[in-house]
Amino acid sequence: MLKACLNGGRRRDEHPAVPVTPAELAADAARCAAAGVAAVHVHPRDAAGDESLDPAVIAGVVTAIRAARPGLPVGVSTGAWITPDPVARVAAVRSWTVLPDFASVNAHEPGAAAVAAALHERGVMVEAGLWTEPAVDAWRRWSVPVGRILVECLTEEPERSVADAAAILAALPAGGPPVLLHGEGSATWPVLVEAVRRGLATRIGLEDTLVLPDGSVAPDNAALVAAAQALGAH
């Protein structure tokens, strides 16, 4: 499974094709779906361009994407950098009026288990983000069902990221949820190739990298998706 991560925390001054508004995210999601992705992961922004868990912001983006590409699963982040207070993150999830199909929760963050529980209570599939081996232990203490594990290699040194991936994957229990493996920055493409080699789901998009495998600047998310498809990611 190939997921498109459309924007993350990127700003337009980092790349002119970073989608920010609901209309831009919807159009980009439709293009990436046409190119073959099975889902999209987005970081909705408020009017000031800041990431937000506000119900109106979440609703605007999710509704726009579903109108542009009906049936395409849409996921959002619940990262602590968006709303640092764990209680406020839980309250935000409980206030959502339009629900995404899935949402990522970073297991190492304060209050992660409570955020995951709030999502599960709302019927939103939980993705557990695991950045390190200790995060595996934190996730295993959750009592909430998880639909997907995100093994996220955030060290930009490629060899280190591939080694980190191997260590986190080895720490996962056998027979657990499906795994999506990805890297970022200069490690994005090497980790994607490793995910393909292992037969794991992966993702690509301007959130993770601004360049194609040959090092040239990617025109947009759809070009990154096409390059990932060419490397065997589906």
**Residue range 168-195, pLDDT digits in tens:** 999 999 999 999 999 999 999 999 999 9
Beta strands in 30-117 (DSSP E): 39-42, 74-77, 102-106
CA distance 106 to 116: 9
**Residue range 133-165, pLDDT digits in tens:** 999 999 999 999 999 999 999 888 999 999 999
pLDDT at 156: 82
Domains recognised in the chain with CATH numbers: 2-230 (3.20.20.70)
CA distance 212 to 22: 25
Q: What is the dihedral of CA 45, 182, 4, 184, to 10 degrees?
A: 50
pLDDT at 179: 98
By CB neighbour count within 10 A (0-12 exposed, 13-18 middle, 19+ buried), where does 150 fall? Answer: buried
Quote the pTM value. Answer: 0.96
The percentage of the chain sitting over the pLDDT mark of 70, rounded to a whole number, equals: 100
Residue with tokens 């699963």: 73
